[in-house]
A and B are shown apart, each in its own frame.
Chain A
Amino acid sequence: MYLNDGEKRILDGSKGYIAQKCMKFLVDYGEAAGAQRLVDIDGTVDIHPGLKTTWVSDYEITLTEIKELAARGEKFKVPTIGNKPIEPAFIVDGWQNCGTYPSSDPEHHKKCLENIKPLIQMGMVPILSCTYYLVSSYLPTAGQHCSWGESSAVPWANAILGARANHDGCFQSAYLGKIPAYDMHLSENRVATILVECETKLETDMDYDLFGWAVGEAVGIQVPAITNIGKPTWSQIVKMNSGLNTGGQVRMYHVPGLTPEAPTLEAAFNKTSCKHKIGIGRGDLKRIYDMLNYASNENVDFVFLGCPHYNIQEIQKVARLLDGKKCKSALWVMTNPISYQVAERMGYAATIERAGGILMSGACPGILRGEMPPASVMATDAAKQNYYMTGHVYPRALDTWYGTTEDCIDAAVTGKWQGGWR
Chain B
Amino acid sequence: MADTEVRIVLKGRKIIGGRAEGEALTSKMPLMGWGCVNEKLGFVTERNHPLYEIPFKGKVLVFPEPRGSGGFNAYGATRRYNTNPAAFIYRQGFSLTVLAAMIMKVPTITDFDRDPVEVIETGDYVYVNGDEGIVEVVKKKK
A339 at the interface (CB under 8 A from B): no
**Residues of chain A contacted by B76 (CB below 8 angstroms):** 56
Give Cα distance in the complex from A220 to B37, angstroms: 19
Could you tell me which residues of chain A, from 113 to 130, have a CB within 8 Å of some CB in chain B? Answer: none
Q: Which 8 A-B pairs have the closest CB atoms?
A: A391-B35, A392-B35, A391-B45, A394-B45, A391-B36, A55-B99, A388-B35, A56-B102
Give Cα distance in the complex from A56 to B69, angstroms: 16
**Residues of chain A contacted by B46 (CB below 8 angstroms):** 391
Give Cα distance in the complex from A150 to B15, angstroms: 23
**Residues of chain A contacted by B73 (CB below 8 angstroms):** 55
Report B's interface with A, CB cutoff 8 A: 13, 15-16, 30, 32, 34-38, 45-48, 64-70, 73, 76, 80, 92-96, 98-99, 101-103
A245 at the interface (CB under 8 A from B): yes
Contact indicator A29/B34 (Cβ below 8 Å)? no
A240 to chain B, nearest CB (A): 15
With contacts A32-B98, A56-B102, A168-B95 known, is A220 near B67, CB below 8 A? yes
Contact indicator B38/A167 (Cβ below 8 Å)? no
**Residues of chain A contacted by B102 (CB below 8 angstroms):** 28-29, 32, 55-56, 58
Give Cα distance in the complex from A29 to B98, angstroms: 7
A221 in complex: contacting residue of B16, B48, B65, CB < 8 Å? B65
Contact indicator A32/B15 (Cβ below 8 Å)? yes
**Residues of chain B contacted by A420 (CB below 8 angstroms):** none
Give Cα distance in the complex from A366 to B134, angstroms: 38
> Per-residue CB proximity of A234-261 to B under 8 Å, as 1/0?
0000000000011111010000000000
With contacts A57-B103, A391-B47 known, is A167 near B95, CB below 8 A? yes
**Residues of chain A contacted by B48 (CB below 8 angstroms):** 291
B68 in complex: contacting residue of A55, A168, A182, A249, CB < 8 Å? A249
**Residues of chain B contacted by A182 (CB below 8 angstroms):** 94
Contact indicator B36/A221 (Cβ below 8 Å)? no
Contact indicator A56/B68 (Cβ below 8 Å)? no
B67 in complex: contacting residue of A249, A389, A392, CB < 8 Å? A249
**Residues of chain A contacted by B35 (CB below 8 angstroms):** 366, 369-370, 388-389, 391-392, 394
A133 at the interface (CB under 8 A from B): no
Give Cα distance in the complex from A390 to B38, angstroms: 12
With contacts A183-B95, A294-B47, A388-B35 known, is A220 near B30, CB below 8 A? yes
**Residues of chain B contacted by A248 (CB below 8 angstroms):** 30, 67
**Residues of chain A contacted by B101 (CB below 8 angstroms):** 32
**Residues of chain A contacted by B80 (CB below 8 angstroms):** 57
With contacts A57-B103, A220-B30, A366-B34 known, is A33 near B98, CB below 8 A? yes
Contact indicator A151/B69 (Cβ below 8 Å)? yes
Give Cα distance in the complex from A28 to B15, angstroms: 10
Could you tell me which residues of chain A, from 160 to 193, have a CB within 8 Å of some CB in chain B? Answer: 166-168, 182-183
Give Cα distance in the complex from A384 to B71, angstroms: 13
A34 at the interface (CB under 8 A from B): yes
**Residues of chain A contacted by B32 (CB below 8 angstroms):** 246
Could you tell me which residues of chain A, from 9 to 51, have a CB within 8 Å of some CB in chain B? Answer: 28-29, 32-34
> Per-residue CB proximity of A350-372 to B under 8 Å, as 1/0?
00000000000000001001100
B78 to chain A, nearest CB (A): 13
Contact indicator B67/A216 (Cβ below 8 Å)? yes
Contact indicator B94/A251 (Cβ below 8 Å)? yes
Question: Among the interface residues A28, A149, A388, A391, which one has the most CB atoms of the partner chain B within 10 A?
Answer: A391
**Residues of chain B contacted by A150 (CB below 8 angstroms):** 70
**Residues of chain A contacted by B67 (CB below 8 angstroms):** 216, 220-221, 245-249
Contact indicator B99/A388 (Cβ below 8 Å)? no
Residue of B nearest to A294 (CB): B47
Give Cα distance in the complex from A35 to B89, angstroms: 19
Give Cα distance in the complex from A293 to B14, angstroms: 41
**Residues of chain A contacted by B45 (CB below 8 angstroms):** 390-391, 394
Contact indicator B13/A34 (Cβ below 8 Å)? yes
Give Cα distance in the complex from A167 to B64, angstroms: 19
B71 to chain A, nearest CB (A): 8
Contact indicator B99/A168 (Cβ below 8 Å)? yes
Give Cα distance in the complex from A384 to B95, angstroms: 20
Contact indicator B47/A221 (Cβ below 8 Å)? no
**Residues of chain B contacted by A149 (CB below 8 angstroms):** 70
Question: Among the interface residues A57, A183, A291, which one has the most CB atoms of the partner chain B within 10 A?
Answer: A57
**Residues of chain B contacted by A183 (CB below 8 angstroms):** 94-95
Give Cα distance in the complex from A390 to B52, angstroms: 12
B101 to chain A, nearest CB (A): 7
**Residues of chain B contacted by A34 (CB below 8 angstroms):** 13
**Residues of chain B contacted by A389 (CB below 8 angstroms):** 35
Could you tell me which residues of chain A, from 288 to 331, have a CB within 8 Å of some CB in chain B? Answer: 291, 294
Could you tell me which residues of chain A, from 135 to 160, have a CB within 8 Å of some CB in chain B? Answer: 149-151
